[in-house]
Amino acid sequence: MRHLVFLLPALLLLLALPDTRGRYNDDFDDGEDIAEFDDNDFAEFEDVSEDPAVDVEKEPPPRAAPSSTPIEDEEDEATVENEDGQDEFEDADAQDQDMYSKYDNEEFEGHEKTNPSFKDTLIYREVPAHLQNSWESYYMEILMVTGLLAYIMNYIIGKNKNSRLAQAWFNSHRELLESNFALVGDDGTSKEATSTGKLNQENEHIYNLWCSGRVCCEGMLIQLKFLKRQDLLNVLARMMRPVCDQVQVKVTLNDEDMDTFVFAVGSRKAMARLQKEMQDLSEFCGDKPKSGAKYGIPESLSILSEMGEVTDGVMDSKMVHYLTSHADKIESIHFSDQFSGPKVMQEEGQPLKLPETKKTLLFTFNVPGMGNTSPKDMDSLLPLMNMVIYSIDKLKKLRLNREGKQKADRNRARVEENFLKQTHAQRQEAAQTRREEKKRAEKERIMNEEDPDRQRRLEEAAQRREQKKLEKKQMKMKQIKVKAMS
Amino acid sequence: MYWITVVAHLTYPIYCLTSYKPPNTETNPTLEDPTPDYMNLLGMIFSMCGLMLKLKWCAWIAVYCSFISFANSRSSEDTKQMMSSFMLSISAVVMSYLQNPQPMSPPW
């Protein structure tokens, strides 16, 4: 009985094993031919239809080896091949992959063959530039900062140069001005006119000087209009188109200091421009600029004048001498009793009133050097200041004869008439709106009146006024008709 | 000494002193240079673009505009306006780099 007990499980085991193996094989074999029995322990797992590119490991993986060895020992009497036992652990990962590749695809869902990517080239992602330890990637920023530094450097240099030029001009002209004017340099901040004795800086490139206290003139404003050397953009623009520094002298005269005329002399380009821009030159000097050669001054200068008598009076020998010797420095000289500045373009059309005029002498001089001025060049402008003083004194004495005066008065009347005609419609409209406003205000006042009696009385008074106005109008119309008929 | 000055006074020509009056730029707008005002406005627009749209180049241009506006400004102009425009442009640059530290890429 005991023998039977021991024999029975052994028999059962012997009988079961082939079945399990067979079943096992069926599960993995997928209906195909059973793999050839290699010496390989896992021949039964081998998939014959596999991709030949995949390496098939002939060496058995270590962990599978122990489980299968007792079976084989009993059945096939095969020797266990334990090749390269140490290396098996190193190639574990690769062998795992190959092991998976031998499995049937249907057995595992969602398992993707990723091993090909392992063998392809690795993609190196670039480290973001701001995490790198180099400043080279920030070259645009460095460029910007360099540009800013260059701008600041240019600002400092330009500002200093302009300041030096202004000071040089003032030093060379100070004596002349102080001998001619009681007040030299006033910034207008104090209530009383006080002589500061220095230039008034309006900008980094514009310097003003107000002089007053002289016979024959109310005051003189000198503006040193330098180039914008402190602005790098302007410096670069000037490289394309050279421009000069300018000195502008504006002398305002009292009413008795000058007769009524308009006159200008200067470079041809400047004269053409001024004739279009300036209000008085466009109105009183309608003819084209005449060449200066007729009066003994260089061809490069041309003259705009209200009448010939004025030109003859202004162009005396000394003036001609000044103009001839300094023709390159003179941009324009403008004498006018109707000076109101450049033409003002108004949006609503013509202005309703004639612009205010002032008797003015306006001189514009170019500083020699064409931008590359040095402080020494300022001395060469001194004779021109002498010319200014001479002109002030001369114009005080210059008087038109009777004919000239009549012509001048006629011109002024003509200009005024033209202006009034052009603005007639606008002035009428303005008057109409004013009347309507008045009426509306009165009506509102009546409406706001609380007392009914007073309200009635005010209404009656307004009606009576309206009636009177109508009657007056009718009378006027009658008179006009009678005049027209007679 | 007294009588000398009296004589000098009698012979000195009579004149009158007039105080300086700055020209009224409202009646004559052609006298005014509009560059600083335009540059100020441009600077503010570019800084707002740089801040809102996170554009680094806008912020840098705003800095340049405020510098140009400062260089062309009149001495009578309010420094507060200049300073506020300058500060705004600097803040635009700083904010755009804090949000995105990557360097600016050129447009080409």
All residues of chain A having their beta carbon less than 8 Å from the beta carbon of residue B106 are 140
Residue written as tokens 């020494």? A376
- Cβ atoms of residues A381 and A325 within 8 Å: no
All residues of chain A having their beta carbon less than 8 Å from the beta carbon of residue B99 are none
Higher pLDDT, A454 or A72: A454
All residues of chain A having their beta carbon less than 8 Å from the beta carbon of residue B16 are 213, 218
Q: Kindly indicate the confidence band of residue A106, based on its pLDDT and cuts at 50, 70 and 90.
A: low
Indicate yes or no: CB of A193 within 8 angstroms of CB of B19. yes
Rounded mean pLDDT, A342-371: 81
The CA distance from A107 to the nearest CA of chain B, in Å, is 49
- Cβ atoms of residues A176 and A382 within 8 Å: yes
Task: Give per-residue pLDDT as tens, A119-171.
Answer: 678 888 887 766 776 778 888 999 999 999 999 999 999 999 999 999 999 99
Q: Does A213 touch chain B (CB under 8 A)?
A: yes
Task: Give per-residue pLDDT as tens, A35-51.
Answer: 445 556 666 666 655 44
Question: Three-state SS for A266?
Answer: strand
Task: Identify the pLDDT of residue A189.
Answer: 78
Residues lower than pLDDT 70 in chain B: 1-14, 23-31
Q: Which residues pair with A210 in a beta bridge?
A: A221
Give the β-pairing of A301-305 and A183-184.
unpaired
Q: Kindly indicate the confidence band of residue A87, based on its pLDDT and cuts at 50, 70 and 90.
A: very low
Task: Identify the pLDDT of residue A45.
Answer: 66
The CA distance from B44 to the nearest CA of chain A, in Å, is 18
Task: Give per-residue pLDDT as tens, A367-420.
Answer: 998 888 888 888 999 999 999 999 999 998 888 889 999 999 999 999 999 888
- Chain A residue with CA closest to B69: the answer is A231
Task: Identify the pLDDT of residue A196.
Answer: 84
- Whether A110 has a pLDDT exceeding 50, the answer reads yes
Handedness of CA A125, A130, A131, A134 (dihedral sign): positive
- Substitution target from A159, A225, A226, A231 for chain B, most B beta carbons within 10 A: A231
* Average pLDDT score over chain A: 80
Task: Identify the pLDDT of residue A39.
Answer: 58
Distance between CA A361 and CA A326 in Å, rounded?
18
DSSP one-letter string for A170-200: HHHHHHHHHHH-SEE---S-SSS-----S-E
Task: Identify the pLDDT of residue A35.
Answer: 46
Task: Identify the pLDDT of residue A247.
Answer: 95
- Whether A32 has a pLDDT exceeding 70, the answer reads no
Q: Does A147 touch chain B (CB under 8 A)?
A: yes
Higher pLDDT, A4 or A19: A4
Of the segments A34-43, A275-284, A351-360, A451-460, which one has the largest average pLDDT value? Answer: A275-284
